[in-house]
Amino acid sequence: MKDITIQSNLKALQGGFPAGKIELREDTGAKNGLSFADTLTSSLNKVNDLQKEADEAIKDFVSGETRNIAETMIAVNKADLAFRLTMQVRNKIVEAYQEVLRTQI
């Protein structure tokens, strides 16, 4: 059951792309005119939206507006997964920055 939830959460975070069908291209950002900062900001906004949706789902469940615990848990798991992924990306960015600082010229 846990694997199904993780797989469905990953599909939702991938924006609907089927698993294994995502292509990463170096020129994608240049074509779209998006900088790294724009991409990062967009991703953070999506994570924030997922957090808000999870909070709303919890509030609806607690207030009794909805009785579907599965939808509530899916919203919470999506937000949790997105947040953990964001933290890992942040850690990698900080690690890369520290590596650049250690580089001797």
From first to last of the 105 residues of the chain, give the pLDDT tens digit. Answer: 444 444 455 455 455 444 444 444 555 555 667 888 899 999 999 999 999 999 999 999 999 998 999 999 999 999 999 999 999 999 999 999 999 999 988
Which residue is it, tokens 């900001």?
Answer: 41
**What is the model's pLDDT at position 97?**
95
Helices within 1-105 (DSSP H only):
2-13, 28-32, 36-63, 69-102
Tell me the two tokens of residue 15.
Answer: 């924006």
Rounded CA gap, 69 and 73, in Å?
6
Q: What is the largest CA-CA distance in the chain?
A: 62
- The answer to whether the pTM exceeds 0.85 is no
Q: What is the pLDDT of residue 65?
A: 93
- Helices 36-63 and 69-102 cross at an angle (nearest 10°) of 150
Task: Report the alpha-carbon distance of residue 39 to residue 98 in Å, rounded.
Answer: 21
